Amino acid sequence: MDRALKARLQARFGDIASGPIRQRHDETELRIPAGAAPDVLRALHDEPEFGFLMLSDLAGVDTGDHMQVVYHLWSETTSDWLRVVADRIPRDDPRTPSITFLWKGAEWMEREAYDMFGIVFEGNRDLRRIYMPPDYTSFPLRKDFFLPDDAARSPGGGVRHMERSHAPQGAPAGTIRRVKA
């Protein structure tokens, strides 16, 4: 853990951070409001005491209540990876500024988060589906995504939540065993 990095982050972004700066093993986490992402990330990229020149990953997250965008950054100024969490993006209209002005490779990562979660990155010049067909209307990694039910197990068609399991209809008694915790 690089405690000096935590101190520098606290001094520079303590008033912007939306939660405590956390450290675990070789990773430091900074939570910020989504609207502050461009300014914070520009400072992390441009200011010599940070020098986070490499964006290794960008991911969308659906917490069930709101959306997040998580940026994983690397710098030669520290042994820690930095995770920046742009937090509290509303689920009904998830929008956040693009960071392609800092890292050109973010364009594809933002497209993936858009395709899987529906997060709109304002300013991304090529925000379109990357995995799903262009006419697909849903976002597969959202918590409320539904899959068509397996016809053999369906009590009359419809859909079921992909994470909700249920016993097969008409299974003989004793076939299904419940384990008590």
pLDDT at 150: 46
% of the chain beyond a pLDDT of 70: 81
pLDDT at 169 over 70: no
State which H helix or E strand residue 9 sits in: helix 3-13
Predicted TM-score of the model (pTM): 0.79
Q: Are 117 and 55 in contact (CB under 8 A)?
A: no
What is the pLDDT, as a whole number, of residue 12? 96
Per-residue confidence at 137, pLDDT binned at 50, 70, 90?
confident
Question: How far from each other are the two terminal CA atoms of the chain, in whole angstroms?
Answer: 37
Q: Which two tokens stand for residue 144?
A: 């409320």
**How many residues comprise the chain?**
181
Q: What is the pLDDT of residues 50-104, one digit of tens each?
A: 999 999 999 999 999 999 999 999 999 999 999 999 999 999 999 999 999 999 9
Q: Residue 12 pairs with which residues in a beta bridge?
A: none
Task: Name the phi and psi angles at 17, rounded to 5.
Answer: -55, 140
- CATH 3.30.413.10 for the 3-144 domain, yes or no: no
Query: Given a cut of 60, is residue 178 above it in pLDDT?
Result: no
Q: Is 134 exposed, middle or buried (0-12, 13-18, 19+ CB in 10 A)?
A: exposed
Q: What is the pLDDT, as a whole number, of residue 145? A: 82
pLDDT reported for residue 181 = 54
Is-contact 82 30, C-beta < 8 A? yes
pLDDT of residue 174: 62
